[in-house]
Amino acid sequence: METCPVCKLNDNLIVIEELSPIAIRIECPRCGKFTILDRVEFTAPNSKFRPKLSAWVRDLKEQDAKAPQITSDLLNNLQSSIPDRSPREKQIKLLRSIERKTKYPGQIIELNWKYDFPLAWASNYEEFLYYINSLHDRGFLSNEMTSGLSSVTITADGWDYLEKLERHMEERTQAFVAMSFSENLKGIWEGPIKNAITKAGYTPHRVDAEPHIDRIDVKIISEIKNSRFVVADITEQKRGVYFEAGYALGMGLPVIWCVRKDDLENAHFDTRQYNHIVWETEDYLEDQLYHFICAIIGKGKVS
């Protein structure tokens, strides 16, 4: 029996494959698939971070995203950026994943207590059962329990609720990009930023000229309001970028901050507090941004 390095599950369904003397590929029934690029460097997540990391990996699998390659840089980034989710958000996460598994209304979906609790971003099966019961009490799920399994079906009220959620936030497909307009950075907009957003299922939008600092641009404000989230690259420290990101945060929109490594020391944000990607190469930025969007926002529907 193998042990999953992320969730610590010890189970005979776990498959660990050596890709090189230091890299391993893991398939875990709880977390899903992932690669650890340097097993020597890899430090096992602590008990607080463990369920979040496991849920993050599982979420990517559930959304048919690319299996992540875990490096120590990525772990550091995730530790400071995966948000604490409220019980309400966890219920929505769970209901959405049941929706994704449901091929036709009325279908019974089996949830395994041991393997499936990351679907609700829960820490253990006890918390998982709490969310299943809550969704049942709210009338969104019917639920039958046998030992170790819950057989659930989304009710008519559950479908209504999902539709309402959809109309509210999830129907937004635009990602607003705030960044410097200098020629130096044109390449990262045309390449990694556009690619990562598109690959994650959203439409990248950047206004086509440097905003006026002395005037609040109505067009920009309305584009931010119509967006699902904001990507703010603060390299070169333009005031407009901070303004747009700050406005988005005030509106309750998630902001993913990026900065080129050589400019990090000039950044006017608290690097411990926010979702941020410190990049040196375009490939790194594209890969990290894609994974951040999938982890923090969830995969979008634009194909």
Pairing of strands 32-36, 24-28: antiparallel
Instruction: With CA atoms as reference, report the closest residue to 197 among 245, 240, 229, 238.
Output: 229
Which one, 148 or 187, has the nearer CB to Zn ion? 148
Sketch the per residue contact string, 25 through 54, with Zn ion: x for CB under 5 A, - otherwise. ---x-xx-----------------------
Q: Does 55 contact Zn ion by CB under 5 A?
A: no
In whole angstroms, the minimum distance from the beta carbon of 50 to Zn ion comes to 9
CA distance 277 to 255: 11
Sketch the per residue contact string, 152 through 191, with Zn ion: x for CB under 5 A, - otherwise. ----------------------------------------
In whole angstroms, the minimum distance from the beta carbon of 6 to Zn ion comes to 5
In whole angstroms, the minimum distance from the beta carbon of 28 to Zn ion comes to 3
In whole angstroms, the minimum distance from the beta carbon of 64 to Zn ion comes to 19
Which one, 9 or 256, has the nearer CB to Zn ion? 9
Which one, 62 or 233, has the nearer CB to Zn ion? 62
C-alpha of 103 from chain center: 24
Q: Does 276 contact Zn ion by CB under 5 A?
A: no
Residue position matching structure tokens 């930025």: 285
Q: Does 258 contact Zn ion by CB under 5 A?
A: no
CA distance 30 to 4: 9
Q: Does 70 contact Zn ion by CB under 5 A?
A: no
In whole angstroms, the minimum distance from the beta carbon of 10 to Zn ion comes to 10
In whole angstroms, the minimum distance from the beta carbon of 82 to Zn ion comes to 16
In whole angstroms, the minimum distance from the beta carbon of 14 to Zn ion comes to 7
Q: Does 7 contact Zn ion by CB under 5 A?
A: yes
Q: Does 122 contact Zn ion by CB under 5 A?
A: no
Q: Does 90 contact Zn ion by CB under 5 A?
A: no
Which one, 127 or 170, has the nearer CB to Zn ion? 127
Which one, 66 or 186, has the nearer CB to Zn ion? 66
Q: Does 58 contact Zn ion by CB under 5 A?
A: no
Could you say which residues in the range 186-215 bind Zn ion, by CB under 5 A? Answer: none
Q: Does 4 contact Zn ion by CB under 5 A?
A: yes
In whole angstroms, the minimum distance from the beta carbon of 121 to Zn ion comes to 14
Q: Which residues bind Zn ion (CB under 5 A)?
A: 4, 6-7, 9, 28, 30-31
